[in-house]
Amino acid sequence: MQIYRRLTQIKAISFDLDDTLYNNRPVMQVIETKMNAYFTEKFAILLPTLILKSDQTFNSNFWAPYRAQVVQAQPVITHDVVKIRFETYRLGFLAHNLSEEVAVQEAQAGLDYFIELRSDFSVPQVTHDLLESLGRVFPIVSISNGNVNTKTLGIDHYFQHIYHAGYQDYRANKECEYLLKQKPATDMFDLVCKQLAIQPSELLHVGDCGLADIYGALNAGCQTAYLPQYGIGKQLKQIPHIELGRVEELKALLS
C-alpha cells in the first residue's frame, strides 16, 4: 500500500465493481465472441440474404454506427449502459427493414442475453473474504457505471446499497423517475452519503479508474483508494489518498 494523503475517519466504504473486485477484461472478450455468434444466428433467420451476400460479422464495429445515432439523438443516454444497448440494437434491426415490433422484440432478447453473459463468471475468493471482513466493521456499498448483476455473482449480500448509473428502474419503452449520472459525476457518491447519513469525507471509495473513481470521488469530497491491479482504468488526474497493489491490502484498515 502506498500512502499519498493521511486517511481520516472512515465510516463507510464504497467499491467500484468491474476491474476492481475482479478482472473484467476476459469476461468482455468472451462476451464479444458470444454476442457475435448470437447475432449471426439471429440475422441468418431474420435476414438470410444479409448473411449470404457478405462476410458480415456482428461485433461492436457493426453496432457502432447505430450507437452513434442513439447518442446524437439523446446525449444523456450515455449514462445508461442498459438503455443505450437496447436502443442500439433496436436501431440496428430497424435499419435492416425489420418492423418496429420485431426490432423491439429482438433488441430486448439481445439485451437479455448480453446481461446473462455479463454476470456469468466467478468472483475471486479473496474478494469474498475481503468484503465479508470489511462488512463486519463498515457499511459497504457498490457504485458502478456498468450493469453487472451482483446477485448473480453472489456478492450482493455484502453491500448495504448497490448503485448503478442510469435511469433508475429502467424498462424498455417506459419513462423513468430520475437519472443517476455515471462517475466521475458525483451523483452516486452524493446519494451514498445521503442514504448512509455520513459526510462525504467519511466515505472511502475504492476503484481502478483514475478518472471515474478517483477524480469523481475526490470531487465529491470523499477519500480514495486507487487500485490499478488489472491495468484497465484511465490514468490518474488527481492524487488519491492511497494506492493498492491488490484489493486485499484493504484489510489493513481492520488493524
Which pLDDT tens digit goes with each residue over 21-32?
999 999 999 999
What share of the chain has pLDDT > 90, as a percent? 79
Going along the chain from its start, the domains and CATH numbers come out as 2-22+122-254 (3.40.50.1000), 26-118 (1.20.120)
* Average pLDDT, integer, range 77-91: 94
pLDDT at 171 exceeding the cut of 60: no
Question: Which of these, 110, 117, 112, lies nearest to 93 by C-alpha position?
Answer: 110
Mean pLDDT score across all residues of the chain: 91
Q: Compute the Cα dihedral for 153, 159, 160, 163 and give only its sign.
A: negative
Q: pTM for the whole thing?
A: 0.89
Please give the residue that has the higher pLDDT: either 201 or 169: 201
pLDDT of residue 168: 72
What is the Cα 142 distance to its own chain's centre? Answer: 10
pLDDT of residue 175: 55
Query: What is the layout of strands, in order, in the sheet containing 242-243?
Result: 2-3, 242-243, 223-226, 203-207, 12-15, 140-144, 161-164
pLDDT tens, position by position, 215-238:
999 999 999 999 999 988 888 989
pLDDT of residue 51: 57
pLDDT of residue 117: 95
Please give the residue that has the higher pLDDT: either 34 or 176: 34
Q: Which long-range contacts (CB under 8 A, 24 or more apart) does 133-138 make?
A: 133/251, 133/254, 134/13, 134/250, 134/251, 134/253, 134/254, 137/253, 137/254, 138/10, 138/11, 138/12, 138/13, 138/253
Q: Are 11 and 139 in contact (CB under 8 A)?
A: yes
Rounded to whole angstroms, what are the CA distances from 52 to 43, 45, 107, 208, 232? 10, 11, 22, 43, 38
Question: Which of these, 85, 90, 109, 234, lies nearest to 170 by C-alpha position?
Answer: 85
Rounded distance, CA 83 to CA 2, Å?
39
pLDDT tens, position by position, 91-138:
999 998 889 999 999 999 999 999 999 999 999 999 999 999 999 999
pLDDT of residue 77: 92
pLDDT band at 50 (very low <50, low <70, confident <90, very high): low
Reading the block at residue 105, the C-alpha cell is 422484440
pLDDT of residue 54: 54
Rounded distance, CA 203 to CA 222, Å?
5
pLDDT band at 213 (very low <50, low <70, confident <90, very high): very high
Q: Are 86 and 67 in contact (CB under 8 A)?
A: no
